[in-house]
Amino acid sequence: MANVLIDEYHFTPLNNQSYYSDDFPNSIMYFANENLLQMDNLDDIHPDTNCFIFLSQHRSASKIPTLTCHFTGNFNENMYGGRPKELGICFPWLQKQYLKEINKSRDQVPKYDIIIEATHHGPTSLRKPSLFVEIGSTLNEWNDPIVSKIVTEALLKVISMKPGKSEKAGIAFGGTHYPAKFNRMLLETEFGFGAIASKYDLVNVEKNMIWQMINKSTEKIEYCIVDIKGLGKERQRILSLIQDHGLRIIEV
């Protein structure tokens, strides 16, 4: 993806790690020497940014070709960067627009799953919203120039738009790590999503985590969407916790 930005969109060096393009004057491409999941220091490196978008490799045990995006955060321990029980700041509109844009090229990448992921991993302490945009899940996909160009083009179209807000913004609970129901809602309804807690993380969700899910968003969270069949044994406890926060609850 970085090569596409350099070769196709004329990003040129400002210094050893930062690149700039006259065609996209509000954006800087930064090459990190550190593990992306542990870069909670980006605010100090780029204090004037409005948002951090991480271009990343995606790995999965299934090795299914996948184009994903997701917000960051740890509902429990920090096995993969960030702080324990800390969520990053979400930008629902940005994720929604990218997912809609990348889906316009679905016919060009028929073997790839295009889907959001539930909230996971670091960095979690950035003072600005962040979004991971990923290509997976093996070396073949990471080195696929066609896919890299499609992802990069979609992303540049979105960041060239005037930033907006979702008509309705919500948090979500339940379902798998790849939440198909919520993915469909992003594409087919007016909803944008902030943090998403998959069914595997529900056991770790308590009042402070829900407070973070509501408040660590650039958009006002007024809705809570629950995959009612995907809550498992935590169903009654989660529904009870949600009701204490005055959100409009939608079951899917």
Q: pLDDT tens digits, residue range 81-132?
A: 999 999 999 999 999 999 999 999 999 999 999 999 999 999 999 999 999 9
Eight-class DSSP state of 234: G
Q: What is the model's pLDDT at position 244?
A: 83
Candidates 158, 136, 149; CA nearest to 6 is 149
pLDDT, one tens digit per residue, over 25-39 is 999 999 999 999 999
Q: What is the model's pLDDT at position 188?
A: 98
Is 0.85 topped by the overall pTM?
A: yes
Low-confidence residues of the chain: pLDDT under 70: none
SS3 state of residue 150 = helix
Burial 156-178 (b: 16+ CB within 10 A, else e): bebbeeeeeebebbbbbbbbebb
Yes or no: say if 21 and 162 are a contact pair by the CB < 8 Å rule. Answer: no
Eight-class DSSP state of 217: B
Q: What is the model's pLDDT at position 202?
A: 97
Distance between CA atoms of 85 and 103, rounded to whole angstroms? 32
Q: Which domains does the chain have, with CATH numbers?
A: 32-251 (3.40.630.50)
SS3 state of residue 136 = strand
Eight-class DSSP state of 134: E
